[in-house]
Amino acid sequence: MNQVNKFFAERNDDIQRMGLDTEISQLRNNFIVKTAAYNYSYNFTWLGRPIIQYPQDIIAMQEIIWQVKPDLIIETGIAHGGSLIFSASMLELIGGDGRVLGIDIDIREHNRVEIEKHPMFKRITMIEGSSVDKKIAKKVHAFAKDKKQILVVLDSMHTYDHVLKELEFYSPLVTKGSYLVVFDTVIEEMPEDSFPDRPWGKGNNPKTAVWEFLKTTDRFEVDKSIEIKLQITVAPDGYLKCVG
């Protein structure tokens, strides 16, 4: 075994052993619950735009994009645009003509202005409208026509019904070997009173939608190795690899 293979073999062994450590699991859960009270995910930017993600998940997305090398990344949920800028910057590093397509029901004017004047906007297209509107889904499918490698990221409304409909509309676009990433599945693991002013919570969230979706398809499987490696993630059971 050469030194490179030895490094990765040892790393994989460490990851698997870490996944069996219940003390780390408890520390992870405590960290997520405690930091959520301070809007921890709002603390970070990517190339100047708020990205609203945990750094660990940003790193995971970097690894996925570099591995998959998609020519189209579809994202539901735009907010301040940091995730669109991140995806576009990764495609810029990869080279080629890769595009990012963002969908949001309300692209606020101040966010649109900042996104459109960013150097990475040259790779970004935005559609305003509900991601679960059939007319919007039709536009997305038309945009994706003839793309060879497609990655989909779902991060808009976090209710069960909404995410399940997004999975129905956009999972067919994901190409074999790529990923369908569903963020904020961690809601299912949060205390009951974590989201008093939101329409989602335990039993009604992206993770419960993923569980239901996986009953209906054999094209996707949860890539557990990612969340075990990260430990701190908002997407447990949310990194879905397309295997068929």
DSSP 3-state percent helix, strand, coil across the chain (nearest 5): 50, 15, 35
The topology under which CATH files domain 3-242 is Rossmann fold (3.40.50)
The predicted pLDDT at position 213 comes to 98
Q: What is the dihedral of CA 191, 194, 199, 205, to 10 degrees?
A: -40
Question: Could you tell me if 49 and 117 are in contact, meaning their C-beta atoms sit under 8 angstroms apart?
Answer: no
- Each of the 244 residues of the chain gets a pLDDT tens digit; together they read 799 999 999 999 999 999 999 999 999 999 999 999 999 999 999 999 999 999 999 999 999 999 999 999 999 999 999 999 999 999 999 999 999 999 999 999 999 999 999 999 999 999 999 999 999 999 999 999 999 999 999 999 999 999 999 999 999 999 999 999 999 999 999 998 899 889 999 999 999 999 999 999 999 999 999 999 999 999 999 999 999 9
The predicted pLDDT at position 148 comes to 97
Q: Give the phi and the psi of residue 204 in degrees, each rounded to 5.
A: -145, 80
CA 62 – CA 82 distance, rounded (Å): 14
What ranges do the domains of the chain cover? 3-242
3-state SS of 105-147 is: CCCCHHHHHHHHCCHHHHHEEEEECCCCCHHHHHHHHHHHCCC
